[in-house]
Structure 1
Amino acid sequence: MRRYTCALLLISLFLAPAGAHAKVINAIAAIVNDDIITLYEINREAQPALREADQKSPLDDAGRSKIRHTVLDQLIEKKLVEQKAKELNIKIGDDEIRQAIEDVKRQNKIPSQEALLGALASQGITYDQYRAQLQEQLERLRLVSIEVRSKIQVGESEMRDYYEANLAKYTEEESFHARHIFFRISDKAPAEEIKRAMTTALMVLAEAKSGKDFAGLAKSYSEDPAARKDGGDLGVFKKGDMLPELEQTIMALKSGEVSELVSTPAGFHIIKLEERIKGKVKPFESVKNEIEDTIYRKKSEDRFSQWAKELRSKASVEIKDLQGLL
């Protein structure tokens, strides 16, 4: 129903010229059952996190060490998951990988294989590296599906409780119904023309604020052709749908209230907010699948975390003392 998504390595040393101290650039950092994790792997995997952290605030040795130890824990978990996948004979075929790559291209609107290669290159990743990462992810997903997700249930009452506790999340945005009267001013209009337009606009504004029919005023004075037909009706819209200057004014109005004169690059506007329409709560049935996915995902993450801890507790994990190299 759902779609879901050893030989021992010798320690490598690069030696400085004779008489200088040797600098270790690779060593065994941990042994996970029969597999090893090297210092080189940790440093390679830690680079993105180290760069990102350094950009926010320069890292000291303790900060760098903390990130590397976090990466080591992640690599240990990754090894254990890979070993379990092998134990269960989980394999992802070439056709599945090809289909997954096509899905990625479609979802990210990547038009061609060349465009994908370019996007990968910009991130410093080769196609073969990306393909291997994708295969890893698919194997992990299948393993998680077997070991974790298949054991998770989401009940109707659980979904309803979540819905009631998160009604704000399932309430539509407030919307607004407004009208306007528009006085056009070109960007090269002389001062005298601007003065005349403002004088007329202020006269109409006074009439609108006195309670005169706003739609009638729009039909008589507005320089928006559509407004002369529909009385300046802007329709119903939500936050983000209008020019920032007009939206800011409308958001501050009460239903039935007329704004002051609003200036935009196009000219002057008088706005009347006809109605604030309170957002409706979406019916439970219309968001039920979304809620089920949310709860299911959270349970999967929690269950996977617990499963990974159990996997590690049963494994032979030896972390080497690298004397400050981490």
Structure 2
Amino acid sequence: MLTLSLKFSVASRAVFVALSLSLVCASSLAQTKPTGAFATVNGVAVPQSLLDNNVKANVAQGQRDSPELRQVIQDELVNREILAQESARLGLDKTTEAQAQWATVRQTFLVELLLNDYMARNPISEASLKTEYDRQMALMKDQQQYRLSLIVTSTEDQAKAVLARLRKGEAFAKLATEASLDPSKKDGGNVGWVVPAQILPAISNVMVNLVKGALAAAPIQTPAGWNLIKLEETRPFKAPTFDEAKNDIRQTLVQKQRFDYVKRLRENAKVVQ
């Protein structure tokens, strides 16, 4: 019995060791990640490139690339994959509304890819910038400049309510910070120096008839919303240097280049409406 017991004990140990090795191997296999992935979720690879792109985006916003940052991002991406899989399991992506939203996201993504590719292949040259700068300076050299403050609201009633407060003496900058939709709100509504040709006629036609310190009598409607304007001061046109104007000119030329590209594509497309 003792011998049998000993034999049984040795055999049991062999089985136990074999089972342990099997479990370790199975665990190792389960944890094996495909090439190019930093994790898998239910067998689905989460790409390393996705992690790298998110790290770059955070670093570009001032974060420091560190193991702690990468771990936080990894956890978030894994959580998102888990949530996405659960959403798909429930069939939430199969509804008509979800399909329409997905089509919009896909279309927007493809448009950005195309336009970015076009701009990369057709960059704005320094010579083009200088030519446009010279053209603009020649057009504006005899014009008057206006320093404008602006508040934009989404409805006419909101604009009228703000205008009433302005007429009672509340500070324009304070109300711009509180109520405006325009990016200038961070500067108290200060748009800076402009010439009439730089802004919409609906606003410039009113602006040129205001006296220093005056408010427009009524809100002005534009595609951006309902605009309240105040003329802070005027001066003869003061030309910026090429370096000062270069970024704004580049944006203008980029917008024109994109517009012309879209126009050409549309002219060659078969559109039925």
Length-normalised TM-score, structure 2: 0.34
TM-score (normalised: structure 1): 0.29
Give the helix-richer structure, 1 or 2.
2
